[in-house]
Chains A and B, each alone.
Chain A
Amino acid sequence: MADLSVDLGFRTLKSPLIAASGTFGYGEEFLPFFDLDILGGVIMKGIFREPRPGNPPPRLHETPAGLLNSIGLAGPGSEKLQESIRRLRARTPVPIIVNVCGEDDDEFVAVAETFSAMAEVAMLELNISCPNVRQGGACPAQDAGHTARLVGRVKERIRKPLIVKLSPNVGDIVGVALAAQDAGADALSLVNTFLGLAVDIDARRPVFANIYAGLSGPAIKPLALRLVREVCRKAYVPVIGIGGISSGRDVLEYILVGAAAVQIGTINFREPAAALRITNEIEAEMERLKIGNLSEIRGQLQT
């Protein structure tokens, strides 16, 4: 029987599979479909201090094997999320990770402090990379200096492990990754969605009010996989790979290029029990390839 556990250094997870923020609601929505405790963790949809309505419709546009979204981090605010987390904890022991957002650095720090203080929360993921908050897609993760300052401030005020979620919409993702690491990030997760554009030829306008939107889904997997490899070659903190994962084989690809764990996102919309299927597929692939634990192949891509 394959051992799915992965070691992040600061914590061992029972599986490399983590449900990605923004694609798994607040966890409860998936309880009818499978036992969440098979997962390494679930990440709550990104949260700000106050409730946010998000962007005006339309918010979704399908592309071949992909999905453009411009949700704009709609959410209920910190107080309501604390209630959701307590409810989820009462139903399952799965590690709960909070995706921390902010309109400015002070808000990032305040939200991180709030959830660092919750016993039910295993770790935090700092969402410095959402492309849908500002028009044009600007976010802290596009600047290594800003990333370092913000990560440093947050780390000073929290007592939980901190994952920093990176943007692919940068010239030098390795530079930003190392800035986050050197400022104290315990792990890096990458990538958030790729900036994309959809055009309505009848209206001669962009489909989305924000013009650009974030692309996810199987279409981005090769792009994300390359960026994960680049960062894994230089960073010493564990990397959590994200982008287009929809099968057990995809997970092994990310582990081979150096990821310690992975997140599954858009596939959860199409297939609510995707995590269960992918877990079974990882086990089957490990047995086929005679892998006892994923650490045996982590970063072992032969070039």
Chain B
Amino acid sequence: MLDERGLIEDARSLGGNYHLLKIAAPGIAASAKPGHFVMVRVSAAYDPLLRRPLGILECRPPYIGLYFQALGRGTSMLAALGPGDSLDILGPLGNSFPEFPGKKVLLIAGGRGIVPLYHYAQVCAERRPLFLIYGGRGKADLPLLDRIKALRLQGLFIFSEDGSLGQKGLLTSGLEKIVREERPDVTLSCGPEPMLAALAGLLKPFPMQNLASLEAIMGCGFGVCQGCAVRTVTGALRKVCDEGPVFPLEEIQWPT
């Protein structure tokens, strides 16, 4: 973990409010693993005060790639940066995904939840059979599809709620069929909370290991402020930043 001054090499808008940044951050890039995230300081001024937690999309030392949606003040300021701009990045943070050598792995990504799973696929696709289910509201919410098609996946299943791409509907509508047919040993998921909550129910009958990467509002990203607590089924609170962001799916108390 280090706090590094990153230099933006390339900045792209992917349409809608989706953005891609390629940042030279050699120290972080040298040790980032799939599932890790970074805390990015978007402004030298004190508004916004805190850094923003962002997953690492890819890592090609000395570069890391970040993919995010400009939704609020912080991410909009980040989206306005361009090549030559620098920004402070703290990372790599969090616990990352295990590698699961030899296992058949199903990745389940909703919207920008593709970030850590893309990273996992890029690093691990050559070493094990990988399947990916990728869903969003419509075509505009799946702007990374061309890159994803270039990954060595054994199966790719696309869903869009409006039917503009792939099968029409939520990805959870087609999940059971895919799980029955492909019989994965492990699922790795990331996406909106309602999607993860639905997955927890749908995957329960199957004898698989299910891990989910969680999003949370964070103050520091390295375990100090305790602002990112999430409730588990035992009632205990766990920190998403340094006890996660990857947790067993069934360990989290999902809203009903």
Contact = CB atoms under 8 A, between A and B. Distances in A.
B230 A57 contact: yes
Contact of B50 (A29, A33, A67): A67
B49 interface: yes
Interface of B: 1-3, 41, 46-51, 88, 90, 216-220, 222-231, 235-237
Contact of A268 (B217, B218, B220): B220
Interface in A259-275: 266, 268-273
Interface residues of A, number: 34
B220 to A, nearest CB: 4
Contact of B46 (A22, A71, A218): A218
A206 interface: no
Contact of A23 (B2, B48, B225, B237): B225
Contact of B231 (A23, A57, A270): A57
Given A60-B217, A268-B220, A272-B3, A65 B49 contact: yes
Contact of A62 (B49, B235, B236): B49
Interface centre among A65, A69, A266, A269 (most CB of B within 10 A): A269
Nearest to B220: A269
Given A25-B224, A269-B224, A67 B49 contact: yes
Nearest to B41: A270
Interface centre among B51, B220, B230 (most CB of A within 10 A): B220
Contact of B49 (A56, A59, A266): A266
A29 B224 contact: yes
B2 A71 contact: no
B229 A57 contact: yes
Contacts of A217: 46, 49
B133 to A, nearest CB: 28
Contacts, number: 86
A64 to B, nearest CB: 5
A71 B222 contact: no
B226 A23 contact: no
A268 B1 contact: no
Given A24-B224, A25-B223, A56-B231, 14 more contacts: A25-B224, A57-B237, A59-B226, A60-B50, A65-B46, A65-B47, A67-B49, A71-B226, A71-B227, A74-B229, A218-B49, A266-B49, A270-B41, A270-B49
A246 interface: yes
A29 B49 contact: no
A97 B165 CA distance: 59
B224 A64 contact: no
Contact of A29 (B222, B227, B230): B222
Contacts of B46: 65, 217-219, 246
A23 B237 CA distance: 19
A24 B224 CA distance: 6
A30 B223 CA distance: 10
Name the 4 nearest CB pairs between A and B, nearest first. Answer: A60-B227, A65-B46, A25-B224, A269-B220
A269 B225 contact: yes
B36 to A, nearest CB: 15
Contacts of B47: 64-65
B50 A62 contact: yes
B3 A273 contact: yes
A29 B41 contact: no
A74 B224 contact: no
Contacts of A58: 217
Contacts of A69: 219, 225, 227
B219 A67 contact: yes
A54 B225 contact: no
B51 A74 contact: no
A53 B49 contact: no
A66 interface: yes
A9 interface: no
A171 interface: no
Interface string A66-78: 1101010010000
Nearest to A67: B49
Contacts of A74: 226, 229, 237
29 contacts: A23-B224, A23-B225, A25-B223, A25-B224, A29-B222, A33-B3, A53-B235, A53-B236, A56-B231, A59-B226, A59-B228, A60-B50, A60-B217, A60-B218, A60-B225, A60-B228, A64-B47, A69-B227, A71-B225, A74-B226, A217-B49, A266-B49, A268-B220, A269-B219, A271-B3, A272-B3, A272-B90, A272-B220, A273-B3
Contact of B226 (A54, A56, A64, A65): A54
Interface string A27-63: 0011011000000000000000000011011111010
Contacts of A54: 226, 229, 237
Nearest to B51: A270
Interface centre among A24, A25, A66, A218 (most CB of B within 10 A): A25
A198 to B, nearest CB: 12
Interface centre among B217, B220, B226, B235 (most CB of A within 10 A): B226
